[in-house]
Structure 1
Amino acid sequence: MDARAASAAPRAGRAATMTSLRGAADPEAEVGPELRRLLAEREASALTHGDEFALLWRLAGEQIADGKMLRPRMLLRLHAALSDRPDPAVSSRCSDSAAPRTVLQLACAIELLHFAFLLHDDVIDGDLQRRHAPNLIARLQDQHPAPARGTNAAARHWGCTGAILMGDLLLTEVHRIFALADLPAAVRTRMLRLLHSTISTTVAGELTDTALSDGVIADEPETVLRMTAEKTAAYSFALPLRLAVILAGRGEDLETVLATVSRALGLAYQVQDDALAMFGDGRSHGKDPCSDLREGKRTTLVAHARRTGAWEDIAPRFGAADLTEAEADAMRDRFRACGAEEFAHRLVAQQLARARAGIADAARAGLLPPPARAVLDDVVGLIDGRAS
């Protein structure tokens, strides 16, 4: 899959994917208001601990409500599709599906988990921008009373402290929602085990990512691929899709299939993210286009370049905090010339093909009813050829 093929994925098809993923469970109509209600409650109760604590909740709440809601959307749509059981034989094998209100609350929890990881990631990476706008660190910096707030060390420390603590608070909130969900004990236990393994896998992936960037471990291609899958697949795809299976009363055989499909989806999504960060339009993906190059982030593109003669010219300034935009442009040209961009596109295409094959196999085995397969096909289509 070359760059032209990636961009040639039908634009109308991608728009249709977004619409079909909304369907009857429209996140703007359900998840957004529920998240705002929950966060408003937390802000109000935070006032008892001081204005600064309430402000932290308010600023975080404003940014959480601006999210794409991809993960809640996947959960809501797949749960709805799996809960619609016209086949009596399928119905007899499944327990009752969770109530819509419970599923909605858990969908909100997944979005809170996503934002918690983003907050900690921004601290680790030293980023000040997220989704085309100042992130929570930058907004807290601007609230600091010191002169020249954006460059003041105390202001930066204040911003990073708030992001770390809010991430911790959101992780606690996620566990609270999962633990208090109105579900049978066996279902809640199964769900909590999934949450625990999801967080552990994601944190392991983030730690490996940092170890690679900081030179703690060697950036072997296999290690980079494992890290790339772990830091994204577990919470962005496996958690919402497997949770939909649990909440719809389906068996662990379908969970196992979706764990494999999710790994392919997560790897494709993260490799695509890395390629967009290096070669894409920053105005579309909302991230500083020099951030990964200045950080020295070890991605699959870097792993490929290190095996070519281009690395000799890239290495001296790769990871330089003072890398200029002109140097970054020249570095991107070297990555492109050594085939890193084409390699990323091929890897994305390969992983999406694996996901499609896994979905088709599950459908043939009778594990996926047609509406559920359509949802999963839509998820693959959403990734294929995205530009942001």
Structure 2
Amino acid sequence: MRVLLTVCATAVASTALVVTGPLAATAASQGASTPVGGAQLTTESTVVAAGATPPAVQASAYVVADVDTGDILAAKAPHAKLRPASTLKTLTALVLLPRLNKADQVIGTNQDAGIEGSKVGVYPGLRYSVDLLFQGMFLASGNDAVHALAVHDKGGVPATIQRMNKLAGELGARDTNVTDPTGLDADGQYSSAYDLALFAQAGLARPDFAKYASTKYTNFPLAKKGSYQVANQNKLLFNYDGALGVKTGYTTLARNTFIGAARRNGHTLVVTLMNSPHGITEDATNLLDWTFKSYDALTPVGTLVKPVAAARPKTAEGNGPNTSKKASALPPRRNRAALVATAIVQSTVYKVPVWAYAAPPFLLLALFLRRPKALRARAKAANKARRH
């Protein structure tokens, strides 16, 4: 009996491992310590590039990536969690742009006008279109414009912060935590050069975002009458061929932060820099020049991950579809049939409740438990016959 029970227990345990094994492996891979976007993309300050040596820059962290392919071509401390300053407004825009009607009219408030940091000039009682406020947000980095837009949306500033954190997670920006949609130095607020590149990639895919990011000038109303000209703070737009703009930032604690993009020779590159003492436009220019010049010689050192909603099922290697210009997206042809067969078997197995796999061993156990009872009855009858 002891042997029989041991065999049944082993069968149940083995069945459970068959069922749960692949699921546990998937969970383990998701919780692994490998940095998002590739093993080389760490928090270390070592510059990572393959094929050519990038120019030295003063920023503590940076990323240069091709937003069309998702290839990261150079990086330095890409996952270091740093203060983003106003570059965080790119994530704010990604949340608010699809939610607000650009023709809506917003009335300025004392809270808008009294906000800290950079302002575009939102005055209490004046009317502004949502479209104009977005211009003030992108060009002048107006915290007052951001506040007015966030309050205009359902739930106000708290809901905007919640949506920003949710969207950051969906984009794969795990280094980002938002506590203030303006990008000011709020407690617990941080991002990374990698995450800023994700925001830029998502933003440039939107025509409205791209338009605001590349607008050089706009006119903003004065308090009483007339207007004044507002120039985009991203100097790349004015002195770099093919520049697409995006966003600059500065606070005392964050120092200079930057997101810039440019399109040349059929390639769209984004460069993000964080925690730079000065000369950030020059550093961005040097990195972009180097990347465009060395593009064909460079090998990707990582990738910008796909958003959760757009992610495809992982391949057998666990890395998902590879869109790198240097790698094939499909597994070898000879393995595809096996992969399909495995997927069919696994999908069928997963649909069966775990308890169902324990039923057959216990049924067998019941049959074997009945057998000694029958044997005892037979032996009793035999003894009775002998006595007679």
TM-score by length of 1: 0.25
Larger radius of gyration: 2
More helix by share: 1
TM-score, normalised via structure 2 length: 0.25
More strand by share: 2
